[in-house]
Amino acid sequence: MKPMKKTHRATENLYDEIRIKARGIASENLPIAMINSAGQGINVRNVVSLTGIDFKARTQANAWHSSPFRRVDWPWMKSVGNYAWLNPKRFELAIWYKDLYLSGLALGRPTWSGNKLRLDFIEASPERNALTGLVTDITIIAAVAHATAIGASQIRIMNPVNEKVRDHYLSSNRGFSYDKHENFCYKDI
């Protein structure tokens, strides 16, 4: 007799627990201080909180649509629900400054083999704030914690939107390489 497959809800519940634990580990692994793009030292452990992408996060991200500084128009309000339904094993991250200001969002999922974590969407707030320039690094810390929790050995940032963004991921202190053929940056963990 074949074992029953887990239901979608059971898988969602299991991975909700993994996401919560991984974000907790990521919060503990944040450095005490980081230097933002304005050259200011920020005590990130005291001001950064990591959550899932809930209604509050989607609502604040929706306000990004009117910004002239936005690079890509990811439809966070509409697409998160669809992405979540299709990917119950997903990586999901909202980065908050002082629990009030949404500074960044990221979504990803394990590859079909399950041994790599792909980040499909990463976006920082288009409006300058204390965490400007830190969203990628905070997302990577959270992605490493999530990848470790699910047994993945590599993080992939899929389809960088342009060369400047790709080169941002490839900067020497992040440890990423680039797969030109499939258009993703990757880092073994």
DSSP per-residue codes, 39-97:
S-EE-HHHHEEEE---HHHHHHHHGGGG-TT-SS---HHHHHHHHHHH-TT-EEEEEEE
Q: CB-based contacts of 85: which residues, under 8 Å, 6+ apart?
A: none
Structural contact between residues 29 and 141, judged by C-beta atoms closer than 8 angstroms? yes
57 CB-side CA count, 13 A: 24
Which pLDDT tens digit goes with each residue over 65-87?
A: 889 988 888 778 777 888 888 99
Residue 172 has pLDDT above 90, yes or no: no
In this structure, the dihedral spanned by the alpha carbons of residues 136, 105, 158 and 40, taken in order and rounded to 10 degrees, is -10
Residue 2: the pLDDT is 53
Quickly state the pLDDT bin for 3 (edges 50, 70, 90).
low
Q: Domains in the chain, start-ordered, CATH in brackets?
A: 8-188 (3.40.630.30)
Residue 78: the pLDDT is 75
Residue 146: the pLDDT is 98
Of 36-50, 82-96, 162-176, where does mean pLDDT reach its minimum? 162-176
Average pLDDT for 141-163: 96
> The tokens 């990757």 sit on which residue?
186
Question: Which of 46, 89, 80 shows the shortest CA–CA distance to 61?
Answer: 80
